Amino acid sequence: MQSMKAKFVSFWRALFRDPVLSFGVVSLLLLLALAIAPAKDHFSEWRHYQQQYLRLIRDRGDAVTLQRHFQGGIRQIWLPELGVVDRCQSCHTGLGEASLVDVSAQPFRRHPVIPHRLDEFGCVVCHRGQGAATTAAEAHHSTLAREEPLLPARYIEASCGQCHHVALAGTPKLNEGRDLLGRYGCVRCHTVRLPDGSTMTATDNPPPLTHIASKTTREWIYAWLQNPSSYAASVTMPDFQMGDEDARDISAFLIANSEPLPGGLAAITSTTAKSAPDPAAGPSLYGESFCASCHAVQNAAGNLVGGDIGPELTRVGTKVKPEWLRAWLRDPRTYNSHTLMPRYRWTDQQLSIVSAYVESKADSDFLANVRLQPATAQQIANGKALVMQYGCAVCHDIRGISKPANYAPELSRVGSKPLAQIVFINGMAKTLPDYLNGKIRHPRAFGPGLRMPQYTFTPEQVDALTTALLSLTDRSFTLPTHLKIPAQPSATYQPAGHAGKLMAELNCVACHRMNGRGGDMAPDLSWEGSAVQRPWLDDFLKNPNTLRPALIRRMPRFNLSDSERAELTDYFMTVYQKPDIDREAMPLSGYSPALVEQGRQLFYSKYSCQSCHMVNTQQDKGYIGPPLTQVGSRLNAAWIYHWLKNPQALRPGTIEPNQNMSDEDAGAITAFLMMQKTAGKQEAKR
Amino acid sequence: MRRLFWIAGTYVLLLVAGCGRQPAASPAAHATAFGAAIVESSGGKQLGTPGAALPQPLVVQVNDAQGNAVAGAPVSFSGPAGVGFDPTDGVTDSNGQVTTNVTLGGTSGRYELRAASPDKSGRPFTVNITELALGYQEQVGYSVDQNYCARCHDQESSAERVSNYDNLAVKPHAFIDGQTLNMLTDADLTAIINHGGPALNRSALMPPYGATLSKAEVQALIAYIRLVSDPPWRAAGVVYAKR
């Protein structure tokens, strides 16, 4: 110890023994201290990457161009409007170089093609991370308070959704996630407010439970509550992981709380003729009525066959009471005024056949082990408390229980939720996407007493939902207005008058779009009156089996009366017209043979329409567009002409291309097509 | 001093042992058989998204010299950086197959994966599997393809979408047909999409889409065609392969 001290003292004296020497030493120390900053700068990470980049491009064929583009030093994109200060390009030097397509090493890879410019949007708007950081670790992974790590690539579409609230072709995952939020009723419990001030609405259609006792039994409700997906694979109702007693009490309450149907089932079904129907008649009427366009049934191989507009019917005979089913099939709106099911005008005989066939789709195993004692008053009271606790009334109408508001946390800005507010479970990665993903997969794993039920989403669906939730960020609210692209407001169009009531009863908008509202399964009817001839429409409503015989989803026959049909036809022909098409402008027949022949040649040679359409069933095979064998009896000449000139203008998104046809060519092809008439009609004219 | 030396020595040894690569639990430990060839059963050439799991699992099969499936043979999967396998190693089941779930790397492009299994002498035989990650542009191209092109260019028919391929007098080329499509430059493809088959003296059954699709959609469609092309197009983008 003594020697150490002695050494230090002698060292001190050697340095500071006279003023001149001390001055020199202190100056040297100062100089060293001043050198620290430039040295740090010189050895910085980004400079290292820039040198690597210069070495990488040195030997390339396009070196001169790349070197000319290269700018050294810290490079920064500053967008005060978006709050962006991005220095990412200090290391990612080749982001904008299209010719670096063969370089896979990061950070030198070029940016894949996107519809935006880097200098207009910066990097962190899409990728998150800390734009102002100058080291990779800090820029990519920092999770300090108010900072966020990079968004993993699998969720990158979430970033598009901050500005774009309409579905884009390039973001299928985001589109699916948004669709699922509505289709599974997520937004019934969780409010999601969008930046344009609107609120996301659910697109599912949970049935009211007001008259549930007339529809099904307590045993079925009990089994269903315990595991909805064991009844049908495609259900949207989640599993509340309910115990026996809860299911027992809730089913007791729902049955006791149900009120009888106005008029009663017996009154509606009293005219039943109890004749045993022909066993083949059921499937054939079910098929003819195109029930499968909306309802799916599991086939022998376990695959669902049919549409997803209505509920799956695989085990429906186990669920519904026969007398209820008959009443329902006769007029669905008596039971549920919001149902999508149209009213088929079946005869009593047909009603018996269809209901017997649907009732036969049963599975006795589903209720095999259910034995319930009669409900006690205490069970019913407890059931009511449980119904409120589980929040059943958020989705279902239940008599005497009001819809709870804000039942679950609002998710309008969940994509920017600070990590400090999140309770993670052990063993999971502590990031927001992992939290959302885990929460959707196993909601109850995040703590006792959580009420969110268990869904049966596939991993792809969970990813899609996470993407949709991650798009709900703070930034989406603070964007400058010109960058916000709001979703199409949902149209509330409703056809007017008596015909409008009839169309509501048939629920045309479940499949057809009209004036911006409706489904996309069947053609848009907004301009149907300009397109078709009146006799054809009348015939079609009588027997809608003529167009596109190979499609499996088709228009059902509603058995309309003559007056109903006339009323609908008149309404269509008058109301659904395109203003700039005068359907009388071109005649329906009487074209000169020369013009027709010219049209035929154009049809078969120059435009090769036969690749998609059939005119002559003997030689044409094209089967993408509808067959045109009788198009002259179906469409108006003016409509055909305008369609040929620009199909997308008449039906946006139709796959027939706009061929830039001249007026002359379009006129000739129209003449040729108008000659393709129904055989019977042609003879009648002669 | 000597004790200090010992402590330091032990420390360094421990450090080296700790940092050293953990000898992975070798699948060969459970292996009971060895094959002579490995083939892809299903799950190759899928269209995925960067950073996400592929929709279908990847299945490979190990066969012996006679082409019969071998049960109990070890298989290991490998791929370029960023690609994940669950599981990475496996032993073939009674059908001679191993199934793994693949997660692609974070960037779009063509991923070349490899499955390997050792033969009796311990030398590995391998099979290469290609998977595709669609970037934004290719995704747009894919949706254009599905809306407009696939009805004729895709031979696969389903109940939802009946293929028109068999109805055409002149058969269209599938988009994976690299033998033909790689002969066409981007300008050729743009011309044939915009102006129809006659633009390149080909069939008029291919109609013009120039007035229907936007310029960006046509470019996206070409990017998609180039990505799915087999054999790969020379400038189809980055090839992620383990060196």
HEC string of chain B equals CHHHHHHHHHHHHHHHHHHCCCCCCCHHHCCCCCCCEEEEEECCCCEECCCCECCCCEEEEEECCCCCECCCCEEEEECCCCCEEECCEEECCCCCEEEEEEECCCCCEEEEEEEEEECCCCCEEEEEEEEEECCHHHHHHHHHHHHHHHHHHCCCCCCCCCCCHHHCCCCCCCCCEHHHHCCCCHHHHHHHHHHCHHHHCCCCCCCCCCCCCCHHHHHHHHHHHHHHCECCCCCCCCEECCC
Q: Is residue B115 part of a domain?
A: yes
Give yes or no: residues B140 and B162 share one domain: yes
Under 8 Å between Cβ of A131 and A87: yes
**Rounded to whole angstroms, how far apart are CA atoms A249 and A246?**
5
Cβ of A550 within 8 Å of Cβ of B135? The answer is no
Residue A605 gets which letter from DSSP? I
Nearest to A623 among B162, B212, B216 (CB): B162
pLDDT of residue B29: 52
pLDDT of residue A269: 54
Q: Is residue B205 part of a domain?
A: yes
Q: Is residue B58 part of a domain?
A: yes
Q: What is the mean pLDDT of residues A445-459?
A: 89
Give yes or no: residues B224 and B179 share one domain: yes
Which of the listed ranges A234-248, A262-276, B210-224 does the model predict with the highest average pLDDT?
Answer: B210-224
Cβ of B207 within 8 Å of Cβ of A552? The answer is no
pLDDT of residue A348: 87
Number of domains comprising chain B: 2
A628 has pLDDT over 70: yes
* Best to test chain A binding among B167, B171, B221, B224 (most A CBs inside 10 Å): B167
A293: nearest CA in chain B?
B160
A265 has pLDDT over 70: no
pLDDT tens for A132-179 read 888 888 888 876 766 788 999 999 999 999 999 999 989 999 999 999
Confidence at A254, pLDDT banded by 50, 70, 90: very high
Q: What is the mean pLDDT of residues B25-30?
A: 51
- Model-level pTM? 0.87
Query: Percentage of residues in chain A with pLDDT exceeding 70?
Result: 95
Which residues of B fall within a CB distance of 8 Å from A550?
162
Cβ of A115 within 8 Å of Cβ of B148? The answer is no
Cβ of A103 within 8 Å of Cβ of B143? The answer is no
Distance from chain centroid for Cα B241: 11
Q: Is residue B163 part of a domain?
A: yes
Give yes or no: residues B35 and B128 share one domain: yes
Record the tokens describing residue B162, joined without a space.
């009946």
Record the tokens describing residue A82, joined without a space.
């978006």
**Rounded to whole angstroms, how far apart are CA atoms B42 and B37?**
16
| Alpha carbons within 13 A on the beta-carbon side of A585 | 14
Under 8 Å between Cβ of B82 and B105: yes
Q: What is the mean pLDDT of residues A207-224?
A: 92
Give yes or no: residues B117 and B37 share one domain: yes
Give yes or no: residues B119 and B167 share one domain: no
- Taking alpha carbons only, the member of A671, A686, A676 closest to residue A594 is A671
Question: What mean pLDDT is reported for chain A?
Answer: 88
Locus of tokens 């186990």: A318
Q: Is residue B20 part of a domain?
A: no
* ipTM of this complex prediction, to 2 decimal places: 0.87
Give yes or no: residues B165 and B218 share one domain: yes
How far apart, in Å, are the Cα atoms of A467 and each of A153, A156, A204?
11, 8, 20
Query: Minimal Cα–Cα distance from A81 to chain B, Å?
Result: 25
Q: What is the mean pLDDT of residues A533-559?
A: 81
pLDDT of residue B11: 56
pLDDT of residue A30: 94
Q: Is residue B11 part of a domain?
A: no
B18 has pLDDT over 80: no
Record the tokens describing residue B217, joined without a space.
């959609």
Give yes or no: residues B68 and B143 share one domain: no
Q: What is the CATH number of the domain that holds B162?
A: 1.10.760.10
Question: Which residue type occupies B233?
Answer: W
Cβ of A102 within 8 Å of Cβ of B238? The answer is yes
Output phi, psi for B32, to 5 deg: -120, -5
Choose one of B74, B107, B133: the last residue of a domain. B133
Domain that holds residue B49: 28-133
A546 has pLDDT over 70: no
pLDDT of residue B21: 45
| Count of CB atoms situated within 10 Å of the CB of A579 | 7
A70 has pLDDT over 70: yes
Give yes or no: residues B145 and B64 share one domain: no
Give yes or no: residues B128 and B144 share one domain: no
Give yes or no: residues B49 and B120 share one domain: yes
Nearest to B205 among A101, A608, A657 (CB): A608
pLDDT of residue B192: 95
The residue count of chain A comes to: 686
Which residues of B fall within a CB distance of 8 Å from A606?
204
Query: Maximum distance among all alpha carbons in chain B?
Result: 93
pLDDT of residue A447: 83
Q: What is the CATH number of the domain that holds B32?
A: 2.60.40.10
Choose one of B102, B133, B164: the last residue of a domain. B133
A384 has pLDDT over 90: yes
B161 has pLDDT over 90: no
A301 in contact with B, Cβ within 8 Å: no
Give yes or no: residues B35 and B106 share one domain: yes
Cβ of B152 within 8 Å of Cβ of A624? The answer is yes
pLDDT tens for B77-94 read 999 888 999 889 989 998
**Rounded to whole angstroms, how far apart are CA atoms A111 and B188?**
25
**Rounded to whole angstroms, how far apart are CA atoms A516 and A592?**
40
Helix (H, G, I), strand (E, B) or coil at A333: helix
pLDDT of residue A682: 44
B28 has pLDDT over 60: no
Nearest to B53 among A459, A607, A660 (CB): A459
Give yes or no: residues B110 and B199 share one domain: no
Choose one of B133, B160, B176: the last residue of a domain. B133
- A131 backbone φψ class: left, alpha, beta (φ>0; ψ -120 to 50): alpha
